[in-house]
Amino acid sequence: MRWQTDPLLVVDHLSMRFGGLVAVNDLSFTVGRGDITALIGPNGAGKTTVFNCITGFYKPTSGRIALAHGGAVTAEAADALTGSDQRHTHGEKPELFLLERMSDHEIAATARVARTFQNIRLFPGMTVLENLIVAQHKTLMRASKLSMAGLLGLAGYRAAEKKALDLARAWLDVVNLTDRADMPAGELPYGAQRRLEIARAMCTNPVLLCLDEPAAGLNNRESAELTRLLRGIRAQTGVSILLIEHDMSVVMDISDHVVVIEYGTKIADDTADSVKNDPKVIAAYLGVEDEEEAEAVAATTEGIKP
């Protein structure tokens, strides 16, 4: 269980309120290094809110989101960092980040968490290739030295740009879009746009890739392709993947670890196989009557009793 022994991301007592509405309520879970973790739950359960908190688009009302580079998140290290006024450790291994203290672009650039969106957000007027180059903004910006090295076309910048192009090209091959590299991204068919968005997120060189419903709107064949693509990405880069998904065949097929939430609270957290048979999860998805649910829960607790 890598999410217990080698956690990359630890979400601790996360709560998010919008006025009187509690979208996420005291949620804790971990994401294991190299795992594909699925965050599932009925509509309105607060999955996307959790995503927005992790990626910095929302500031959580309370709670801690700790991420480590090059090692596991340990409670002692996280507590020590929380006690300081720092947002991340400097130069220590493993390097620790407190995401709830960082802004969205810092999380992407320094904590290296990349994300995609439920309703695809490409740069539609820019070409497929440009979308992938823009994603390498941080590296290229550093090489362009306040644009001066870039303006004068110095060798250092030209080398960095060539490297960026090579990386983009490699990802184009992975998502099978090389022949459409110079087309405006907005003119791609839907499935290709989904793949491009994933490739663009990967061009930021993330340690954690967050995918918000990557299979939404895909047909069965495309979903199967997506599953293959995600497995391939993980095998090649070792990136950890956290995804929200409604398509249960995709979830059960690729997830090492499934976290189920309902009304902002966690109701199950285990391997795909055990979650699949969890009566609370079944109840949440099938909408069982309250009494039946209570009975079902009672039945399992009895079953677990020695």
Q: Is 183 in the site for another protein (CB under 8 A)?
A: yes
Residue closer to another protein by CB (options 110, 265) is: 110
How is residue 268 written in tokens? 């199950």
Q: Please name the amino acid found at residue 107.
A: I
- Please work out, in degrees rounded to the nearest 5, the angle formed at the alpha carbon of residue 12 by the alpha carbons of 260 and 68: 105
Contacting another protein (CB under 8 A), which of 62, 147, 249, 271? 147
| Of 169, 231, 246, 276, the one binding another protein by CB under 8 A | 169
Nearer to another protein, 13 or 228 (CB): 228
Query: What CA–CA distance (Å, rounded) separates 277 from 268?
Result: 11
Assign 286 to helix, strand or coil.
helix
Restricting to residues 263-302, which ones interact with another protein according to CB under 8 A? none
Nearest approach, Cβ of 200 to another protein (angstroms)? 7
**Interface pick for another protein out of 71, 94, 118, 123 (rule CB under 8 A):** 123
* Closest CB 65 distance from another protein, rounded Å: 16
Q: Residue 134 interacts with another protein (CB under 8 A)?
A: yes
Full 3-state SS string of 69-117: ECCCCCHHHHHHHHHCCCCECCCCCCEEEEHHHCCHHHHHHCCCEEECC
Query: Is the Cβ of residue 38 or residue 175 nearer to another protein in the bound state?
Result: 175
- Least distance between another protein and beta carbon 10 (Å): 22
- CA count, 13 A, side-chain hemisphere, 240: 27
| CA–CA separation, 131 and 122 (whole Å) | 7
Name the residue with tokens 């995918």: 211
Residue in 17, 137, 246, 280 binding another protein, rule: CB under 8 A = 137
**Out of 4, 62, 219, 271, the residue judged to bind another protein by CB under 8 A:** 219
Give CA torsion, residues 113, 116, 118, 119, to 10 deg: 140
Is the bond leading into 94 cis (omega within 30 degrees of zero)? yes
Shorter beta-carbon distance to another protein: residue 247 or 262 = 247
Q: Is 191 in the site for another protein (CB under 8 A)?
A: yes
- The 3-class secondary structure across 162-200, one letter per residue, is HHHHHHHHHHHHHCCCHHHCCCEHHHCCHHHHHHHHHHH
Binding mask 60-99 for another protein (x = CB under 8 A): ----------------------------------------
Lookup: tokens for 231 = 């497995």
Q: Both tokens of residue 30?
A: 């971990």
3-class DSSP state of 50: helix
| Nearest distance in Å: CB 161, another protein | 8
User: Does 187 sit near another protein (CB under 8 A)?
Assistant: yes
Residues lying near another protein in the complex (CB under 8 A): 55, 57, 104-106, 108-110, 114-115, 117, 121-127, 129-130, 133-138, 140-141, 144, 147, 150-151, 165, 169, 172, 178-184, 186-187, 189-192, 200-201, 204, 217-219, 221-222
